[in-house]
Chains A and B, each alone.
Chain A
């Protein structure tokens, strides 16, 4: 069963705008990770946030984690057309080292 669920399923914005994607999960986790996938390619790791962290930044990316609500958000600021891709959250549960992926959010950034 899917642990993470992303919201929205699809998002279309203009270049320069911010994009926010959300992820909810069900069980206790060690960490939550965000990945990006360009069409027809493999996934690329973006950022990892541990269960004892609340916020993390990497360049134009900002990730928050609320373990009480079992949710995370990924914010991409000042989006570019090259940010067009699918974005997946993945959770590592406390019971093991495997990741469980959500279904992804398809982001389209229009030039």
Chain B
């Protein structure tokens, strides 16, 4: 059974703190993605990675960075958390190459920045 796990379901941080959100997949997928989900705005892509040590900016990368040192792990970093980064964060992974592939999602991390 395919699995994407995220390090925390709920997280509360203070403004200015450095925040790490971890995502691990066990499907040997090449592609990994970080989204944030906000009411009325749907899912918005923050960053994605198509290989180890590779990253691409999504639609809203400002205030975030990512790290992919191993194929199975993709980390989202908030260098200095702000209240407007309070959101649901979703990680996903997919296969790469020719053809169309579905994305597999983790359960999400609900981050509150106070």
Give me the interface of A with B, judged by CB distance under 8 Å.
1-2, 30-31, 33, 35, 40-45, 48, 50, 88, 90, 92, 97-104
Contact = CB atoms under 8 A, between A and B. Distances in A.
Contacts of B96: 97
A42 B100 contact: no
Nearest to B105: A42
Given A43-B90, A98-B58, A30 B100 contact: yes
B23 to A, nearest CB: 11
Interface string B96-112: 10001111111110100
A35 to B, nearest CB: 8
Q: Which of B31, B42, B50, B90 has the most CB of A within 10 A?
A: B42
Contacts, number: 55
Given A30-B100, A98-B48, A42 B41 contact: no
Interface in B33-77: 33, 35, 40-45, 48, 50, 58-59
A103 B41 contact: yes
B42 A43 contact: no
Contact of B104 (A30, A45, A48, A98): A45
Interface range on chain B (Cβ under 8 Å from partner): 20 to 34
B108 A42 contact: yes
B89 to A, nearest CB: 10
Q: Which of A35, A44, A99, A102 has the most CB of B within 10 A?
A: A99
Contact of A101 (B40, B43, B102, B104): B43
A92 B42 contact: no
Contact of B105 (A2, A40, A44, A103): A44
Contacts of B43: 43, 88, 101
Contacts of A102: 42
A30 to B, nearest CB: 6
Contacts of B58: 98
A45 B110 contact: no
